[in-house]
Structure 1
């Protein structure tokens, strides 16, 4: 009986250790560096909270200390309140160089009372132009909400509060490039997008409202730094089941306001190949 109990405890301990190795409950002090902003980015509460600010001199940003090749990353954000027109708050993954890969959440500020626009985008080998834009079904300035990216060899899925809103599948067999070779850093920034962010740049930042501040907390990551270390990760083969696909279609039907795959004027020579399979 004692031997069975010891074996059971060893098995439990094994799974606990491996689960801990697979999942990082983020501490901003340990996992990120504030990379620009001259003091406008702040780590608070012993690394449990991070704030970025923008004023008429500069914005600010931070970046993970390590790049990752595949992962599932959650970040809770509370966006700039009030008149945030012209501001852009971003949470994204990106590699380096002109042929970089990038997966974007960009939150486009607006006039007080108007909804934020969430823009998502996928860059592969330096080529983007894959925007999908959404209104959110809540006020993202009142409380923290969770924004997540799942990136594995077969798919990329964007989530809001665990609800999928967008999927970009690996369609390399149809000659559609997919980001699976370049490790990406986890990044975020708050910056002046007055020339394009709000109504195509028609509404500029009201600097009398500065400083503008966004807050971050509860970063959780399940990641690997090279593909050979991913094989035992549960999320490495994760995809949407029929129920999740139904939720994504509901969001897209009710809250999507722009989809590059329906913008024939933008692509007069034909829509991108992936649009046939989404």
Structure 2
């Protein structure tokens, strides 16, 4: 099996062309052409000519869907509108994983949207696992320059053999480059795309202090503009189907400026600076004293000092939200 995936990796890397180009014209596919329900029964509802999906969390169950195929590299995207009002303990996830096939050495690329108490904003978290390296979480958390519960916004993952890029409304917010020191910690096996909404009361909001309150249910996450654009792998026949249409290879200079602006104004946590979890930062981390000082304000606990000052975090985040909108 190892030789199969190694050969498949090389084959797909040759056929899938990651060239600079627009992703705005990639085909949007109907739900039943690329996805299948994962769980939730009636809590998953397909709308608008089969191209829009509502996922619901209530006191009975959450819900989710999954791509029909495995993919080895590509561009994966959805427009998402999150639940409004009190959403503490609620997590909406848009992610790639092969945990069902590789229980002890799975890969994962995550967008996670973390709900909050009334009056506090949704938070967005990205994470990368490779080869079962769950003891080394590569999480980053951010605020946003808009309210993700008011309207649809595009969230996208670009995955190649050398890098992973997360986008919000076509603005890159994070780039993870494969380094030699990461070894197998960089995702390298075929993965499936998932979308879910679920109860994460035990950890999602202030370490589990605020739980899901079902008097505000149902919580509904809406998904549309679904894009699956990459090298698909049939798990039964082991036949690869690679799309050689052009998708971006990386971040352009203009995009890099936007990404740097976003990270300066909106990133509130990075695993690279978490001294509680990592006495020595993971090898791929590039430590910036200026970035460390910015993040210390948002999350002093991870720097080994004091308690989190949520009031200051909210105040600074609101100022940053207003400023960053004009820079994009």
TM normalised by structure 2 equals 0.73
SS of 1:82's equivalent in the other structure is coil
- Partner of residue 169 from structure 2, selected from 143, 153, 161: 161
Once the two structures are TM-superposed, the CA of residue 218 in structure 1 deviates from its matched residue by: 0.6
Of stretches 259-268 and 81-90 in structure 1, the one that deviates more from structure 2 is 259-268
- What does 1:19-34 correspond to in 2, within 5 Å? 23-34=26-37
Distance 1:48 1:222 in 2: 16
Of stretches 256-265 and 138-147 in structure 1, the one that deviates more from structure 2 is 256-265
Structure 1 runs not aligned, ≥5 long: 1-21
Q: For each residue in 1:231-255, what CA deviation from the matched residue of structure 2 results, as whole angstroms up to 9, or x when unmatched?
A: 94433x6011222222111111100
SS of 1:68's equivalent in the other structure is strand
Specify whether residues 174 and 79 from structure 1 end up closer, same or farther in structure 2 by C-alpha distance, changes over 3 A only. closer
- Structure 1 residue runs of 4+, over 6 Å off? none
SS of 2:71's equivalent in the other structure is coil
Distance 2:270 2:203 in 1: 17
- What does 1:134-173 correspond to in 2, within 5 Å? 134-172=142-180
Aligned residue pairs, count: 255
- What does 1:116-265 correspond to in 2, within 5 Å? 116-128=122-134, 129-172=137-180, 175=183, 177-180=185-188, 182-225=189-232, 232-235=244-247, 238-265=249-276
Distance 1:239 1:167 in 2: 9
Distance 1:248 1:167 in 2: 9
Distance 2:249 2:65 in 1: 28
Specify whether residues 63 and 192 from structure 1 end up closer, same or farther in structure 2 by C-alpha distance, changes over 3 A only. same
Once the two structures are TM-superposed, the CA of residue 173 in structure 1 deviates from its matched residue by: 6.0
Assess if the C-alpha contact under 8 Å between 2:181 and 2:283 holds in 1: no
Structure 1 residue 48 corresponds to structure 2 residue 51:
yes
Once the two structures are TM-superposed, the CA of residue 23 in structure 1 deviates from its matched residue by: 4.6
Once the two structures are TM-superposed, the CA of residue 151 in structure 1 deviates from its matched residue by: 0.4
RMSD: 2.2
Match of 1:104 in 2: 110
Assess if the C-alpha contact under 8 Å between 2:171 and 2:255 holds in 1: yes
Specify whether residues 76 and 168 from structure 1 end up closer, same or farther in structure 2 by C-alpha distance, changes over 3 A only. same
Distance 2:182 2:64 in 1: 37
Match of 2:285 in 1: 275
Distance 1:119 1:265 in 2: 19
Q: For each residue in 1:251-278, what CA deviation from the matched residue of structure 2 results, as whole angstroms up to 9, or x when unmatched?
A: 111000100011122111x110110389
Structure 1 residue 113 corresponds to structure 2 residue 116:
no
Once the two structures are TM-superposed, the CA of residue 175 in structure 1 deviates from its matched residue by: 3.6
Structure 1 residue 64 corresponds to structure 2 residue 67:
yes
Assess if the C-alpha contact under 8 Å between 1:59 and 1:189 holds in 2: yes
